[in-house]
């Protein structure tokens, strides 16, 4: 399995942090802000990033050898989401969570 127990535990935590940040920011900040914040491409990335982070964490909690492939997909979507958040008001924390999660997932991949 890719990654030591400690690395997997850290990655799981960062995935859940990113999931929480994307889901909450999309639902509670972006929907209230409107405009660019609900532009379809951006909002879909926020929802998809929340989902794949949640699922990557789930797979590491189960504990299978193939988690690296899911982490690779997760990292790619986190990078795209971070880019999509950059420059939008009130998204700095979410952007940071995406970058931290991407980094940890890239080490698993």
Q: Give residues in contact with a second copy (CB under 8 A).
A: 12, 16, 20, 23-24, 27-28, 31-32, 34, 38, 40, 43-45, 47-48, 51-52, 54-55, 57-59, 61-64, 66, 69-70, 72-73, 76-77, 80
Is 41 or 87 the residue whose CB approaches a second copy more closely?
41
Which is it for the CA torsion 77, 79, 81, 83, positive or negative? negative
Min CB(90)–a second copy separation in Å = 15
Euclidean distance between CA atoms 5 and 91, whole angstroms: 31
Min CB(26)–a second copy separation in Å = 9
Q: What is the CA radius of gyration of the chain?
A: 13
* Inter-residue contact 102 to 75 (CB < 8 Å): yes
């Amino acid at each position: 399995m890719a990654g030591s127990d400690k690395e997997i535990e850290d990655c799981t935590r960062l995935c859940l942090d990113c999931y929480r940040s994307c889901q909450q920011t999309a639902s509670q900040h972006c929907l209230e802000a409107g405009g660019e914040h609900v532009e379809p491409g951006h909002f879909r990335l926020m929802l998809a990033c929340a989902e794949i982070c949640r699922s990557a964490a789930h797979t590491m909690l189960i504990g299978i050898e193939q988690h690296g492939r899911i982490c690779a997909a997760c990292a790619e979507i986190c990078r795209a989401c971070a880019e999509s958040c950059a420059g939008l008001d009130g998204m700095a924390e979410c952007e940071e969570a995406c970058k931290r999660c991407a980094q940890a997932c890239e080490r698993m991949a």
